[in-house]
Structure 1
Amino acid sequence: MKYIAPPRDAVDPQVFSRMPLAAWRDHAGLIEGRDWPSIEALNAHLPAAARECFVAQTRELLADGLHYERRIAERGEIATRERNWHDLFNALVWLRHPALKRALNARQAAEVARMGPKTRSRAQCALTHFDEAGVIVVASDPALIAPWDAHDWHRLFWRERTAWQDGRAQLEVFGHALLEHALTPGKLLVGKALVFHSTQAMEVVLAHAAAAIAHGELLCDPLELRPLPLSGLPGWHPHSDDEAFHRHAACYQPRRTGRSYPPAVRLGHLGRAALV
């Protein structure tokens, strides 16, 4: 069922104080309050040397016949629907993670040129899934991977809940559809995660991830992504402090028979994308 975001004036203000939207309070002026930001207001938040800009998605714009990704790659124009939550959160991700967004766009544009506009490759599916629902997880404790592999959600989010609080597991929500879904209080959120085993700071891992995606070392197949029920994280759902939630929540699905996940990415194992 397609998600329909609440009207702007009907959004419960409390959602902005709970993760994941609480992490975007530096853009409160764009997402909170009754008034929608204009395209000009979004562009005002871009650095002066930005390669891209936001443009209103109008009939006149679409008359050029360009694919959305090609328009960004060739003209630097990010078609943006005004007064639209989905596109507003997409714009915010461009503001915070331009290197990751450029990497995705370059790969998508290359795949469109290779496959044509009506056929999607496995890589395109992986890139789109990450763009919409992606999460990057940095786990310094390898013991967290086994329960995740097994979909042992009670262990991962209840018995190991301190790992998500003391820095052994850090995450960055990237997918703009996830941010849009968070507008509904209590909605169960599930991301599609790339997981890295590293003790490096998140910003270092993000830079490696962007380079690896750009060079085709990551996101070549949707099976690289593993589900991460974000609502299980401490404080991310109104009931996440209740152990019973972690035994029965609908966002916790069993692992499909035969499904396996790639090991956590180690930065030193990335070839052309290695930055250090």
Structure 2
Amino acid sequence: MAFHSIDWTRPWLATLAARGRRWQSAALDGYPSYLAELNGDATQAALVTGRGKPLAFIAQEELPPGASYEGYIAETGRVPTRHNLHDFFNALMWFTYPRTKAALNSHQADQIDAFGVGPTRGGLRDALTLFDENAVLFPCADPRLADALRRFDWHTLFIDERASWSTRCEARLFGHALLEKLVAPYKACTGHAWIVDVPPEYFAADESTARAMLDESVSMSLLARPIDSRAFAPLPVLGVPGWWPANESPEFYGDATVFRPGRRTRIQC
């Protein structure tokens, strides 16, 4: 898929559209224009990577041979970036949730320093990569809704408590591979939800404040303790109320190949 395929009217992209449209236009102009746009924003925002280096974006071919991607970012601040949708959304997340991206980068770099880059990543690096690629942040002010998500109780989460969305819970996409997939949405597209306990006033905050609250909370939780893949709950993203016209009908959620029955008891996010 090409850059022109991005539809910024999709509900999950609404909060990203202002910067995203500008970047999209630059990307359509070509690779140099695209990198220049990203770096102009990076200079203005003064963001840093996992080890406090000023964030910048470089062409993928500038990554030195043999250098690890995450380790290079942590040590230099320079993010190797291809001219494609996958890396487009990765860069966008650096600006949307900068503290969370820096926390992920810090953990990845520490793991690489400790264990090197082998044929397998190991449990912690697998979980960090899963978060980076496919996470859906699930801010929630009602433990019953978080419990419904953990227990695969789709009827409660999406039908009985439909009015609770945007007032007591919501979904925000983080994983850049997931964002890439949703350029061409399909019903079975499923993210890995990371449940974030938030106070009720989170849902009354303006967009900038809410996003900063979420970024701080998630980054702090990532830095506080190791994570593993069991810390996520599956979330079929087109089931989120308001995100897909067909889910206005309760029958949409009756598809057990997508909204699978099950029970999780070890999710700790």
Per-residue deviation, 1:214:
2.5
| Cα displacement (A) at 1:104 | 0.3
Distance in structure 2 (CA, Å) of the matches to 1:78 and 1:208? 24
Alpha-carbon offset, residue 249 of structure 1: 6.1
Deviations 1:13-33 (A, max 9, x none): 6x3212212221112122369
Q: Deviations over 1:192-225 (max 9, x none)?
A: 122123315343242022123124x2x5211111
Q: Give the aligned partner of residue 37 of structure 2.
A: 41
Q: Distance in 1 between matches of 2:98 and 2:85?
A: 19
Q: Greater helix share, 1 or 2?
A: 2
Match of 2:2 among 1, 7, 22: 7
Distance 1:31 1:254, change over 3 A: farther
**Corresponding residue of 1:271:** none
Q: TM-score, normalised by structure 1?
A: 0.82
The alpha-carbon deviation at position 34 of structure 1 amounts to 4.5
Verify: 1:22 aligned to 2:22, yes or no: no
Partners of 2:221 and 2:248 lie apart in 1 by: 36
2:187 paired with 1:212: no
Aligned 1:46-65 pairs, distance under 5 A: 46-48=42-44, 49-50=46-47, 51-58=54-61, 61-65=62-66
Q: For residues 173-188 of structure 1, what are the structure 2 equivalents within 5 Å?
A: 173-188=173-188
Q: Does structure 1 conserve the Cα–Cα contact (< 8 Å) formed by 2:187 and 2:236?
A: no
What's the CA shift string for 1:87-122, capped at 9, x where partnerless?
011011112211111100010011112222013121
Once the two structures are superposed, the pairs formed by residues 250-265 of structure 1 within 5 Å of their partners are: 250-255=257-262, 259-263=264-268
Give the direction of change, closer, same or farther, for the CA distance of 1:184–1:35 in structure 2 (3 Å limit): farther
Partners of 1:231 and 1:30 lie apart in 2 by 25
Q: Kindly tell me: are residues 221 and 92 of structure 1, through their superposed partners in 2, closer, same or farther at Cα, counting changes over 3 Å?
A: same
Q: Is the 8 A contact 2:150 2:267 kept in 1?
A: no
Task: Decide which of 219, 229, 250 is 2:236's aligned counterpart.
Answer: 229
In the alignment, the residues of structure 2 paired with residue 131 and residue 179 of structure 1 have an alpha-carbon distance, to the nearest angstrom, of 11
Aligned to 1:171: 171
Which of 28, 31, 39 matches 2:24?
31
**Against the structure 1 CA distance between its residues 141 and 63, is the aligned structure 2 distance closer, same or farther, given a 3 Å change threshold?**
closer
CA RMSD of aligned residues (A): 2.1
Amino acid of the structure 2 residue aligned with 1:53 = A
Which residue does 1:69 correspond to in 2?
70
CA contact (8 A) 1:115 1:121 kept: no
Amino acid corresponding to residue 99 of structure 1 in structure 2: R
Structure 1: which amino acid aligns with 2:253?
Answer: H
Q: Secondary structure at the match of 1:17?
A: coil
Q: Aligned AA for 1:7?
A: A
The separation in 1 between residues aligned to 2:116 and 2:138, in whole angstroms, is 33
CA distance change for structure 1 residues 156 and 261 in 2, over 3 Å: closer, same or farther?
farther
Secondary structure of the 1:66 match is coil
**1:170 counterpart SS class:** coil
Q: Distance in 1 between matches of 2:252 and 2:138?
A: 22
Identity rate of aligned residues, in percent? Answer: 33
| Alpha-carbon separation, structure 1, partners of 2:133 and 2:220 | 19
1:186–1:17 CA distance, 2 compared to 1 (3 A)? farther
How far apart are 1:188 and its partner, in Å? 3.7
Aligned partner of 1:274 in structure 2 is: none
Equivalent residue pairs, number:
248
C-alpha displacement of 1:263: 4.6
Residue equivalent to 2:92: 92
CA displacement at 1:52 relative to structure 2: 1.2
Change (3 A) 1:198 1:21: closer
The question of whether the paired residues in 1 share the 8 Å contact of 2:187 and 2:258 is answered with no
Distance 1:146 1:211, change over 3 A: closer
Per-residue deviation, 1:150: 2.0
